[in-house]
Structures are given as C-alpha cells and as structure tokens.
Amino acid sequence: MPEYRPLFGSLVLATIGDQLARLALTVLVFQRTGSPVLSALTFAIGYLPWVVGGPVLAALADRLPRHRVMVVSDLARAGLVAVMAIPGVPLPALLGLLLLVSVGAPPYEAARAALTADILTGDRYVVATSVAGIVLQLAQVVGFLLGGLLVTALSPSLGLLLNAATFAVSGLWLLGGLRSRPAPLDPDAPAAQSVWRDTAAGLRLVLGDRRLVAVVTLLWVGVLLNNAHEGIGPALSDELSGGQSLVGVLLAVHPAGAVVGGVVVGRFCPPQLRERLVTPLVVLSVAATAAAGLAARLPDRDLAVPLFVAALAVAGFGSAWSIPLNVAFVQAVPPAARGRALGIAMAGMFAVQGLGALAAGAAADLVPASTVVLLTGLVGLPLVVGPLLGLVRTRPPAGVPVAGPSGP
C-alpha cells in the first residue's frame, strides 16, 4: 500500500499541528479575556466552515482530482498559519485567519476519506480505518500535551509556527507520494452538474437512505456529547485548581482512552461483533462523562483531579463506537458519491463538535464548568436512545453480504 503511507502520514502530521495550534489559541484567548465563552468560541470557530458550507466545499472532492484538492488545501493552510504565527498579530485578525484556515478542512477531509476508500479494498479498509483512528487519537494526545507544554513554557506563536510546518510537510508529502487520478465521475448524472446540484444529490442520497440516516444521526449525537468539554478545558483546569498546565492533560486523556478502545474494538473484535458493541460503548461513553462531572465537583481536589481524568479516559474508551459506524457508512455509499456523502457526514460531525464546544462555553459562563460536564452526560443518556434504536432497526440481516469500500 505505497500510496496509503503518505495519505496516512500526512494526516497524522496535520492532526498533531492542528490540535497544538487549537489549544494554543484557546488558552491565549482565555488568558487575555478570562471568559470561558470566548475561549470556547475560539475552539469552535475552526468548525464554522463545516456549519456554513461544509457539504458544498466537500463536493469539490468529487468534482476535482482528489489528490490535488488535498495538496492545495494543505499548502494554502500552511501559508495562512505562518502569518498567524507572527508575534503581535491582533486577536481579531488571528480569529479571522483561523476561520480562513478552516475553510480548507471540508474539501481536504472529504477527499482524504474518499481516496482512502479508493486505495484500499475489502477488509484492508476496515483494518486501516481502525488503525487510523487509533493513531489519530494518539496524534491528538501528542498535539494537546505538546500544546500545553509550549503554552506554559514558551509561547502560542511557536505552536502556530509548528502547525504551519506540519501543513507544509503534509502537502509536499502528498504531492510526491500520490499518483494522479482524474476527478471521479458519477455515471448516473451529467458530468457538467454544478457544485450545488452535486451537493443536493449528496444530501438526497444520505437523507433518503434509512441506514445512512441512522448512522449519521448517531455519529452526530455521539460526537456532540463526547467533545463538548473540549471548549471549556481552560475553565475546567481553573476549577480543578490545576492552572493552565493542566489543560493539555484534560484534553489529551479522552483521546488516550479512545486509543485503547480502538485497539480492543478494531484489533480483537471480529467484524460481526463490532457493530453490536456500538450500543454498550455509546452508553458507557455518555455515562462516564456524567461521572466525570460528578468527580470534578468533589471538594477534595487531590481526589477530584485523578477521578475526573479516569472518568474521561473511560469515556474516551467508549468512543470506539465510531469505528464500526464509519465502516457501516462507507459500505452503504456508492463509490462515485463518497466524496459528497462523506463530506455531509463530516460536515455534521464537525458542526456539532463546534456548536457543542460553544454551547458548553456559554453554559460555563453561568454555572461551574464541572456542572456543564455533568449535565452533558445526564442529558446525553436519553438523547442517544432514538439514534441507537434506528441503528439496530436498519442493521443488515446476518449472512447478507455488504458492499465493501471498493464495491461488492
């Protein structure tokens, strides 16, 4: 799989740099303003393009050569982040540049996901999805911990400069490692369709299939509940009397737990068992989030911090439900429409991730951050019931063959 190496390696690099920069900016805003909602807004602003134009931007992955979409997105983001790294850039300008950087994410992510399914066949795709999920969670851990170290010991500007370097290396690696492919063409539609029609066709495909609706609904609700606490990391650290040095640890522990969960589900569970584990894993993840909120409210801080960290790690372990959901989604989508369909799924995923962080920040201006985490878990338990029932009802009968990523 020579082409998969640059595809995978470049994503790991970009993920480390992206998490590092996101943490650096979030802490910078909290230090300057002392406002949980403004720091959460900084964390969430990177997801805004997914909310406003994610499906439209992602449709470019089906209209243009996918490798070219990825290279241009990475190199453009490298240049913009390099400008952000200049010391003394005003805060409004930093946020505006962050928004521009984020515009490159929807086409890049849609092209990457679709190209992965093009390159890998059969069970290789399933294994690669599992391994990629594990390594990306590790990349988030490294990015958050490195970001916390740099913010505490050095400066946010250095974190941004490293982020620019990772984007540049990623783009050049893709340029040299991926072979040229023509833009995918949908055999059931005219090649000259507009991007708006492409997007509408992708929406009809996803919303018109009960199986796809069930998968994306659970994916979006699960991500909303799993990641809401990320936007209030600085406020949580303050409440736990850990200072800003604890922020990186609080944000890293959830993906660290997800690494363990990914290994267990992806490596040791047979394919027929993986989807059946989704329900217990989702419930475990949400319940552990509520437990983390309770732990953080303990008066003994020496006990509260390790219990909070342990509960978040368990919640991260439960988030391994995403592995079988990703596979189920790709199996249900025709190859020529994967860029649009995956773009819509990821648009919703990143949108709820950003909105969840922003809502958590707004709530943390009214109540303690630990209460926000507790309420996320308590409200989340009834929220996941409907999507879980939909997933079970649309599960293919045992013994019925399912199309793989490269077709039947």
What is the model's pLDDT at position 242?
64
For residues 248, 250, 255, 256, the Cα torsion angle rounded to the nearest 10 degrees is: 90
* Residues 6+ away with beta carbon under 8 Å from 231: 26, 39, 40, 43, 44, 356, 357, 358, 360, 361
- What's the number of CA atoms in the CB half-sphere (13 Å) around residue 300? 4
What is the model's pLDDT at position 286?
95
pLDDT digits (tens, 9 = 90+) for 231-266: 788 888 888 876 666 777 888 888 889 888 888 887
* Residues 6+ away with beta carbon under 8 Å from 144: 19, 20, 23, 248, 249, 251, 252, 255
Q: How far apart are CA 330 and CA 54, in angstroms?
A: 18
- Does residue 407 sit in helix, strand or coil? strand
What is the model's pLDDT at position 407?
38
Segments making up each domain of the chain, as ranges: 4-178+194-393
CA-based end-to-end distance of the chain:
21
List of the chain residues with pLDDT < 70: 1, 52-55, 121-123, 126, 129-130, 144, 146-155, 185-195, 198, 242-245, 397-408
Cβ distance 321 to 269 under 8 Å?
A: no
Cβ distance 351 to 45 under 8 Å?
A: no
Q: How far apart are CA 370 and CA 305, in angstroms?
A: 11
Superfamily of domain 4-178+194-393: MFS general substrate transporter like domains (1.20.1250.20)
Q: pTM of the entire structure?
A: 0.70
* Residues 6+ away with beta carbon under 8 Å from 163: 17, 18, 20, 21, 81, 85
